[in-house]
Amino acid sequence: SLATKGSHRHFMEKEIHEQPEVIAHALAHYIDFADNRADTVAGLDFARIPSLAISACGTAYFAGLIGKYWFERYARLPVEIDVASEFRYRDIPLSPQSAALFISQSGETADTLASLRYCKELGLKIGAVVNVGDSTIAREADAVFPILAGSEIGVASTKAFTCQLAVLASLAIGAAKARGTVSEDEGQALVRNLAEMPRIMGHVLNSIQSKIELLARDLSKCDHVLYLGRGTSFPLAMEGALKLKEISYIHAEGYAAGELKHGPIALIDQNMPVIVIAPHDRFFYKTLSNMEEVAARGGRIILITDEKGAAASNRDTMHTIVLPAVDEIIAPMIFSLPIQLLAYHTAILMGTDVDQPRNLAKSVTVE
């Protein structure tokens, strides 16, 4: 099928706005699984495996990192994760009783495929979280978990990332039920939260646009940007930094908020904005205190938070993007939206080729 941009300026913009629809589609495929069929995941026996290995590259790797928090927290399943180019050579002591998940939009990334073959050789059961259903990675896996995002043309991944997250969250809930690590009620509540996601995403996309455009003007004048987060917001901070550097060519770094004092705080000044990703979760006040360390050193802060977090912080001293307060399990998907839009609108102001950034390829089939 021929992909078109429709009324959008770029594929990236179109793909950002498609998210409520494609996530709903992906969830429809998995929620039943997370809900009722938890113990029968074709090919992967989450109830019996002692641990899970995850490997991927780029944006898919950050999705995997967020997945690690979920599998560990909800399913009490230890996760070993690394970027595929390291994973394949690290000589990791992996148990053949374990399973391994490979996350890839294209299903063709050379390092990810090599990691898959390496694990297969060791006897692990292989799961593939892919967008392209007839890809090499999908074909070589024991179990395929399609993310159902539809074709993604923009080199910088957006809807594939949130669909990967939706699938990983569903799998983690399914694993938790199979392992008996959440109660029936807890499991139902998690599933209900997932089901609400498309509606909330639609609302957020309609409500933050003008604020984002204003803040992008600010970012487009900067040479460096720091992103901070804790818990699942830490991988999201790294994904935010990756998105900004990929398409605007502005140098950006994502850091664990608690690591600020161990280095990057030396860089804080008026010229380097700090984007703090802080939903009002159990880490909120810790991140808030890291934010105060930035403010005390004259740093400029853009706080991405929710209604509860906004009420609990002093908004006079910073810029804020305020999202609806949502359950912890869907926060990474909801908070992805301002992250993507900030990068997109900053790139527009920089005049870069948003869909085809210099030196990057959509799919990297060489090592």
Q: Would you say 117 or 362 has its CB closer to ligand G6P?
A: 362
- Kindly state the tokens that stand for 89: 């050579």
> Does position 158 bind ligand G6P by CB under 6 A?
no
Segment near ligand G6P (CB under 6 A), from 91-99, 103-111, 253-261, 283-291? Answer: 103-111
Edge-first strand order for the sheet with 52-56 is: 79-83, 52-56, 99-104, 125-130, 143-146
> Does position 367 bind ligand G6P by CB under 6 A?
no
Produce one character per residue of 68-98: b if its CB has 16 or more CB atoms within 10 Å, e if not: bbbbebbbebebbbbbbbebbeeebebeeeb
Segment near ligand G6P (CB under 6 A), from 105-113, 254-262, 268-276, 280-288? Answer: 105-113
Q: Nearest distance from residue 305's CB to ligand G6P, in Å?
A: 27
**What is the three-state SS of 125-183?**
EEEEEECCCCCHHHHHCCEEEECCCCCCCCCCCCHHHHHHHHHHHHHHHHHHHHHCCCC
Q: Nearest distance from residue 40's CB to ligand G6P, in Å?
A: 27
Q: Which of residues 4-63 bind ligand G6P (CB under 6 A)?
A: 57-60
Q: Which of residues 53-82 bind ligand G6P (CB under 6 A)?
A: 57-60
- Judged by CB under 6 A, the residue of 55, 98, 136, 157 near ligand G6P is 157
Q: Nearest distance from residue 158's CB to ligand G6P, in Å?
A: 9
CA–CA separation, 173 vs 46, rounded Å? 11
Q: How far is CA 4 from CA 12, 14, 46, 152, 361, in A?
A: 11, 9, 40, 11, 19
- Judged by CB under 6 A, the residue of 19, 55, 112, 313 near ligand G6P is 112
Segment near ligand G6P (CB under 6 A), from 138-146, 150-158, 303-311, 329-337? Answer: 150-158
Q: Would you say 155 or 331 has its CB closer to ligand G6P?
A: 155
Listed residue (153, 136, 171) closest to 26, CA to CA? 171
> Does position 155 bind ligand G6P by CB under 6 A?
yes
The DSSP bridge partners found for residue 56 are 83, 103
Tell me, rounded to whole angstroms, the distance of Cα 75 from its chain centroid. 19
- Judged by CB under 6 A, the residue of 55, 98, 104, 115 near ligand G6P is 104
Q: Nearest distance from residue 112's CB to ligand G6P, in Å?
A: 5
> Does position 105 bind ligand G6P by CB under 6 A?
yes
Size of the site for ligand G6P (CB under 6 A): 16
> Does position 162 bind ligand G6P by CB under 6 A?
no
CA–CA separation, 253 vs 81, rounded Å? 20
Q: Nearest distance from residue 127's CB to ligand G6P, in Å?
A: 15
Phi, psi (rounded to 5 degrees) for 179: -90, -5
Q: Would you say 58 or 273 has its CB closer to ligand G6P?
A: 58
CA–CA separation, 75 vs 47, rounded Å? 9
Do residues 16 and 25 lie in contact, with contact meaning Cβ atoms separated by under 8 Å? no
Q: Nearest distance from residue 118's CB to ligand G6P, in Å?
A: 16
Q: Would you say 16 or 57 has its CB closer to ligand G6P?
A: 57
Produce one character per residue of 330-358: b if its CB has 16 or more CB atoms within 10 Å, e if not: bbbbbbbbbbbbbbbbbbbebebebbbbe
Contacting positions for ligand G6P (CB under 6 A): 57-60, 104-106, 109, 112, 155-157, 360, 362-364
